[in-house]
Amino acid sequence: MTTTETRTYAPEHTPRLPLAQLAPEFYRAMVRLEAAAAKGLDPVVYELVKIRASQINHCAFCLDMHTKDALASGESVERIVQLSAWEESEHFYTEKELAALALTEAITVLTDGFVPDEVYERAAAHFDEAELAQLIAVITTINAWNRIGVSTRMVPGHYTPGMYKN
């Protein structure tokens, strides 16, 4: 008797539109934006922000990419898993990371009303002005990638770390 069960997964969807090919100039500017935004931001914070915004915006492709990138750069499974409930698992993160996560949520969900002073001030207490500007830029940029990924329905599951690096 075998205990092996054959699992049948749902079929993979196809992307809606090859945006990078159809809007190459826009896409090149986005790649430049990404590089410019990432400059000077703590790389650990960078990946946490990327993952958290992608969770909020439900970007499957982005989650595939950024969880793999985080793991590849040495991030722990526990910290990645706890990210969607980080307010209840604060002891997994540093105060600086928590401030960045709070700012990520505020800037990602603008429809609930602006970016509260206390959230901004908390971030400003942990990041100097230059790094804070980069943090805001990274949050903005992942929100842009999330919009591209979700609207064109990019397919998760095929990313390998480093595949977009030159």
Partner 1 sequence: MPARTDRLSADVYHALAAASAAAKEGLGDPVLVELVMLRASQINRCAFCVDMHLTLARKNGVSERSLDLLQVWEETDGVFTAPERAALALTEAVTVLTDGFVPDEVYERAAAHFDAPALAHLLALITVINSWNRIMVSRRTPPGELVWQ
Distance CA 71, CA 80 (A): 9
Q: Which is nearer to partner 1, 71 or 144 (CB)?
A: 144
Tell me if residue 94 falls in helix, strand or coil: coil
Close Cβ partners of 80 (under 8 Å, ≥ 6 residues apart): 51, 67, 70, 71
Closer to partner 1 by Cβ: residue 75 or 106: 106
How many alpha carbons lie under 13 Å from residue 125 in its C-beta half-sphere? Answer: 12
Q: Tokens for 70, please give them.
A: 């985080």
Q: Is 125 in the site for partner 1 (CB under 8 A)?
A: no
Among 52, 132, 154, 159, binds partner 1 (CB under 8 A): 132
Burial category of 42 from C-beta neighbours within 10 Å (exposed 0-12, middle 13-18, buried 19 and up): middle
Does residue 114 touch partner 1 according to CB under 8 A? yes
Binding mask 49-78 for partner 1 (x = CB under 8 A): -------xxxx-------------------
Q: Which of 51, 100, 136, 154 binds partner 1 (CB under 8 A)?
A: 136
Binding residues for partner 1 (CB under 8 A):
16-19, 22-23, 25-26, 28-30, 32-33, 35-37, 39, 56-59, 103, 106-111, 113-115, 120, 129-130, 132-134, 136-137, 139-141, 143-144, 146-148, 150-153
